[in-house]
Copies of this chain bind each other. A is one copy, B any other.
Amino acid sequence: MGEVQVLGSWGSPYSRRVEMALKLKGVEYEFIEQDLANKSPLLLKYNPIHQKVPVLVHNGQAIAESVVILEYIDETWKGYPLLPQDPYGRARARFWAKFIDDKCYTAIWQTVWIKERKEREKAIEEASHHLKTLENELRDNKFFGGETIGLVDIVSNFFSFWPDIVQEAAGVEIVTEERFPFLCKWKIEFTSCSAIKENLPDRDKLLAYLKAQFTRSAWKY
């Protein structure tokens, strides 16, 4: 099926989405690490509008935006379906992917970057509210995709690994087992899949990176 390249960044959950999907599909690819502080001519050529990772390049044609890339992967390599076959199931998956990106991610990052204590508490409350909504959708299903990992699970990859490290780096505790038992159960199932496990960043490297980020922003509790 031709040459596949991923322009990504090792610590980005968005980049990891693309790699996880390709691994699940059994597609070989070349990963090209991008320095986001010093954008490469390749990144500017292939994603001139957003200049962000990830970008998938397939036979020289570039696609940006991680969820758009996941849909492309699912339509191009049929082996392991990421979306259900029926239109209603597909619509529900797309709804939750959008919910995670628009609501959950935005709210969670705010809890980390907002400096003022009261504002931060409000952000934590908002993030918890959205995560509870997400957890209600998951309930005691093995995966968002049912019995197998699907698009919504991949979009949720952040919750399987990053929060613990963000917590250690920044002191914000959100995704606890007490508050989100189903999400924490899902995390164990999700990361026990080899295509996922092999695509998580190095823990110590990510912790050091995030600590440096938070220090640089002169952000203190």
Contact yes or no, B72 A87, CB < 8 A: yes
* Oligomer: number of copies: 2
Instruction: Take A71-B90, A90-B75 as given contacts and tell me if A65 and B98 are in contact as well, using a CB distance cutoff of 8 Å.
Output: yes
Contact yes or no, A64 B94, CB < 8 A: no
Contact yes or no, A94 B65, CB < 8 A: yes
Query: Chain A: how many interface residues by the 8 Å CB criterion?
Result: 22
Complex interface: chain B residues within 8 A of A61 (CB): 88
Which of these, B68, B69, B88, B95, contacts A64 with CB under 8 Å? B95
Taking the closest CB of chain B, its distance from the CB of A196, in whole angstroms, is 23
- The 5 lowest CB-CB distance pairs between A and B, nearest first, are A75-B87, A72-B91, A68-B94, A63-B91, A76-B87
Which A residues are within 8 Å of any B CB, using their own CB?
A: 49, 58, 61, 63-65, 68-69, 71-72, 75-76, 87-88, 90-92, 94-95, 98-99, 133
